[in-house]
Structure formats: structure tokens, C-alpha cells
């Protein structure tokens, strides 16, 4: 959602294209005035390579996102400007500076944004056929927990910020699909409490009961895990009919 959101924040006197370098090779000969790159830690090496090629051709590059915000000094070696934190408060200023040829090195918003009147992400700029899960919606930002492996609290804050419900409903109604994906990090409605798998069983039943699918994201390799963790995790997924599952090896990410 990062680039569709940035596109939504961009004033209409700019022409915008979104290019996904994970699906299509980059056309470095395309004439562009400014390149903005988003990247998670998993993709940062290729993101920096792309930035380097553009800059070698004299194109200005801005980088942002959770990884860049955690390690700004690394990104500064590959970009003319970097955005630390949420883009909403600084993006338009950055563009106006760019137009005047006065791009600064770092743009950082001092506060977390208000969650009302948020822009509708420009999904129309993405190639629909490239993605299996397309209609992502963000209703909240931040997380009250502070799990040691996770970037979310460090980046979006420990305060659980919620969008006004009518604005979320309006966005969902505007989608061309009846299937959409809430990308929020917690489902406070089910009173999720940390590390209580018994509570999860009941919560899963209730979520399924109202017709909502669940993506279960499982981290393996915690200190207390023994080899039976794989079988137990598999059984949990099958018994509870989790609709889609992702498996991760415990990985420390920068920034916390
Ligand atoms: C949804 C989601 C997914 C979905 C994506 C599905 C979809 N169709 O969207 C799936 C399940 C596929 C997924 C996969 C993975 N994910 Co994930 N995912 C998320 C989640 C929950 C939401 C992402 C999102 O859209 N956020 C909303 C946008 C608007 O926020 P944003 O990207 O941060 O952008 C804002 C700012 O950062 C900034 N910004 C960002 N980029 C740029 C660029 C410029 C130029 C500028 C100016 C500003 C800017 O502006 C935006 C507006 O303020 C986040 C957690 C979170 N709450 O963000 C984790 C998260 C991004 N995922 C994470 C991880 C680790 C992964 C995986 C690596 C897991 C794995 N082991 O496979 C893969 C990576 C896939 C890949 N190669 O990209 C980590 C990344 C940590 C890190 N340091 O990299 C996060 C932060 C969760 C966490 N627990 O820490 N993920």
C-alpha cells in the first residue's frame, strides 16, 4: 500500500506511474523527474541497486519505508532524499522543494499522523493482474504490544490509532471487489491477548462465523521451540481451518 498511498498524497500537477520491480524489469531509459522507492528489509539490496542506477543517470531518488526509517544512514548513501516515518506530513513539501531544486537530505515528521481524512490509495495505478491479494485496506496503525521481532511498534508507534469507521466503510464500498484484505496488525475486536492460543481457537471460530477469512502468519525458531513445533503448528492450522498460512524463520529486523 505504500506507493499507492504516496500517489494519493501527490498533488495533481504531477504525473505518476507505479512500477513493481518484483514483477517487471525496470526501464531505466524512461524519462522521469523523480523516483520514489519503497522497500522492506527483504528487498533493500535490490532497492539500493535500482536507486544507484537512476542516480548514475542524473535522476533524483527518494527512498522511504520501514527499513529506510530504521537505518537512514544506509539509505542516504543511495538516495538524494529520504523520508523517515510516515509520508503524509512531509511528502507535499518534499515535492515542492524538488520543483525548486532544493531537495533536502532528510524529511522527517515529528508526530504520528491523525487517522481521519486519510487519502484513498491510488490502486488504479497498479497492474491488477500481478497480485493475488489486491484490495488491501488499512483501518488502523500502530500496535499496543512490542514484540521483539516486529517493526510495527517501532515504526507506527505503540498507540493504536484508528480511522473513523465511516471513512473505512466509504473506502471499502469504493472497491471493485467484494473481497478485501485488512492489513491491520491486530484485531482488537476479538480482545486478542498475547500468547494465549486457547483464546485464538475461539476467536478464529467467531471470525469464520461472520464470513471473514484469516491469514495466519507463524514464526518458527523461537528459543523455546523444539522439533515438534512444525507438527504442532501444522495441526493447529488444519484443526482450525486457517484459510492461508505463512511461515517465517525468526529474524531480527533493524529498528528496535
Ligand atoms: C500486508 C502486509 C504483508 C502482505 C502484503 C499483501 C498485500 N497485498 O499488501 C504479505 C502477507 C504478502 C506480506 C509479506 C511479507 N511481509 Co509484510 N506486512 C504487511 C503489513 C501488515 C502492511 C503493509 C502495508 O501495506 N502498510 C501500509 C503502508 C501505507 O505503510 P508503509 O509501507 O509503511 O508506508 C508508509 C511509510 O513507510 C512511508 N513510505 C513507505 N515507502 C515509502 C517510499 C517513499 C518514496 C516515501 C516518500 C515514503 C514511503 O509512507 C507510507 C505512508 O505513510 C506490514 C505491517 C504494517 N503495518 O505496515 C507488514 C510488514 C511490512 N511485513 C513484514 C515482513 C517481514 C514481511 C515478509 C518479509 C515476511 C516473510 N518472511 O516472508 C514478506 C515480504 C514480502 C515482500 N517481499 O515484500 C515486516 C517488514 C519488516 C522489515 N523491516 O522489512 C512488516 C513491517 C511487519 C512486521 N511485523 O514487522 N506482508
pLDDT, averaged per 10 consecutive residues of the chain (256 residues), comes to 96 96 92 95 95 97 96 96 96 97 94 92 91 87 81 85 94 89 70 62 92 90 90 95 92 77
- Would you call 198 helix, strand, or coil by DSSP? helix
Whether the CB of 40 sits within 6 Å of ligand 1:
yes
Q: Whose CA is nearest to atom 3 of ligand 1?
A: 183
| Alpha carbon of 40 to ligand 1 centroid (Å) | 6
What pLDDT, on a 0 to 100 scale, did the predictor assign at position 74?
96
What pLDDT, on a 0 to 100 scale, did the predictor assign at position 92?
96
Please name which of 54, 51, 92, 53 lies closest in space to residue 68, comparing C-alpha atoms. 51
| Alpha carbon of 49 to ligand 1 centroid (Å) | 20
Whether the CB of 65 sits within 6 Å of ligand 1:
yes
Q: What is the pTM of this model?
A: 0.90
What pLDDT, on a 0 to 100 scale, did the predictor assign at position 197?
65
Domains and CATH numbers, the chain: 2-108 (3.40.50.280), 187-256 (3.30.750.200)
Amino acid at each position: 500500500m505504500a506507493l499507492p498511498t504516496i500517489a494519493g498524497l501527490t498533488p495533481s500537477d504531477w504525473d505518476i506511474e507505479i512500477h513493481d520491480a518484483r514483477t517487471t524489469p525496470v526501464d531505466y531509459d524512461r524519462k522521469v523527474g523523480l523516483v520514489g522507492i519503497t522497500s522492506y528489509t527483504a528487498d533493500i539490496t535490490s532497492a539500493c541497486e535500482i536507486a544507484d542506477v537512476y542516480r548514475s543517470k542524473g535522476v533524483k531518488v527518494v527512498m522511504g519505508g520501514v527499513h529506510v526509517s530504521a537505518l537512514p544512514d544506509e539509505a542516504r548513501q543511495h538516495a538524494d532524499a529520504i523520508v523517515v516515518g510516515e509520508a503524509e506530513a512531509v511528502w507535499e513539501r518534499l515535492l515542492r522543494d524538488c520543483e525548486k531544486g532544493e531537495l533536502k537530505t532528510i524529511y522527517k515528521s515529528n508526530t504520528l499522523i491523525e487517522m481521519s481524512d486519510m487519502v484513498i490509495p491510488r490502486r488504479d495505478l497498479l497492474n491488477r493482474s500481478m497480485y493475488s491479494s489486491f484490495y488491501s485496506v488499512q483501518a488502523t496503525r500502530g500496535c499496543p504490544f512490542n514484540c521483539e521481532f516486529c517493526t510495527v511498534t517501532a515504526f507506527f508507534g505503540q498507540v493504536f490509532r484508528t480511522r473513523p469507521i465511516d471513512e473505512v466503510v466509504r473506502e471499502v464500498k469504493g472497491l471493485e471487489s467484494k473481497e478485501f484484505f485488512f492489513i491491520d496488525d491486530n484485531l482488537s475486536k476479538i480482545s486478542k491477548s498475547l500468547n494465549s492460543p486457547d483464546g485464538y481457537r475461539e476467536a478464529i471460530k467467531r471470525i469464520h462465523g461472520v464470513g471473514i477469512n484469516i491469514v495466519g502468519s507463524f514464526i518458527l525458531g523461537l528459543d523455546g521451540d523444539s522439533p515438534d513445533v512444525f507438527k504442532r503448528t501444522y495441526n493447529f492450522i488444519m484443526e482450525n481451518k486457517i484459510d492461508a498460512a505463512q511461515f517465517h524463520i525468526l529474524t531480527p529486523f533493524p529498528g528496535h
